[in-house]
Amino acid sequence: MRTTVLRIFGVAAFVALTVYASPVAPPVVAAVSGPQLQSLGPLSFGPDGTMFAGDSAAGTVYALDLGAQASGGMQGTANVPGIDQKIAGMLGTDVKDVAITDLAVHPTSHNSFISVMRGQGPAAKPALIRVDGAGKLTMVNLDTVQFTSAKLPNTAPNTPRAQSITQVRFASGKVWVSGLSNEEFASKMWSLQYPFAKADGGTSLEIFHDNHQQLETRAPMYAFIPYTINGQPYIVGAYTCTPLVRFPVSALTPNPGMKYRGETIAELGAGNRPIDMILYKKGGADFLLMANSSRGVMKMATAPFSSAKVITTPSTTETAGVPYESVKSMQGVQQMDLLDATHSIVVAGMAAPLNLQSVDLP
């Protein structure tokens, strides 16, 4: 087994890719007891180490101050073969009853945090696991974690595959959340000013889906990144089967009963669901990696995002728009985050056992 530990000298190079993020997120406030999570899914970190977590079952976003639990005995993250089996052992259950729901790297300790659901159906319970640079697994004691939270209005917590919250990101002092609402135009993007105030109604989204040859308002955005295009902040997101769509942040304002149509800049193939996205820099250029359920990991240069022709009518080919290349060195990726300037960290495997491993950025 090759063990890879984060090299601290690479930090500055990839932190710069946290586009239009404020330098420090405000601290969370103290709580009498830890967050009462019904579920634990999408994770991300603010630049100061505040963890933002989506609870789809409750339609709630949490800001968690991990305190001393943000780091283990060693900086970085080491490879851990059979990570799902080891987590199952920690939780005292069978590996078939463990679902890994996300992976996020802490910006200071560079330990990896894995969100987990233990059990099946409504009886499933959440857990948060930290992996350090020695490969040690530690369960985060959520009962002692300080937190704040915001309830998203009009979420649809009973939708399949926890689609009420599909992704959570922090940028420009806001927490951005994608998912489904219970409204007529169900596909939704919420932005919550941080520290949290009352969440607004969010923006209903519409896209043109080339492979489906129609406009859609009910498909959730499964993965997205905040990204600056021509000096302006955008959200670039991906949907099932697999359109890539850009949304100017200036247009993402609540307007009850209305919807905003994003600009489809790529069709990346049918029979596929995006899982996660990361940005990185190589050779002075920015690149996007997108992990998918059935089409592997795709690498895209971001330079064409600004000039790509908007797709508004059906094309004659299955893929169109912004080009991509398949990354053959990354197979069976189920969760992914940026580890350092030259490596990603992934949970990968076609079936149990799953492995936590670093992979060279292509």
Question: Domains, the chain, ranges and CATH?
Answer: 8-360 (2.120.10)
pTM over 0.85: yes
Residue 198 has pLDDT above 50, yes or no: yes
122-178 per-position pLDDT tens digit: 899 999 999 999 999 999 999 999 999 999 988 766 554 458 999 999 998 999 999
Six token digits for residue 159: 């939708």
What are the pLDDT digits (tens) for 43-101?
999 999 999 999 999 999 999 999 999 998 899 999 999 999 999 999 999 999 999 99
Backbone angles phi, psi at 95, to 5 degrees: -60, -30
| 92, two tokens | 């005292």
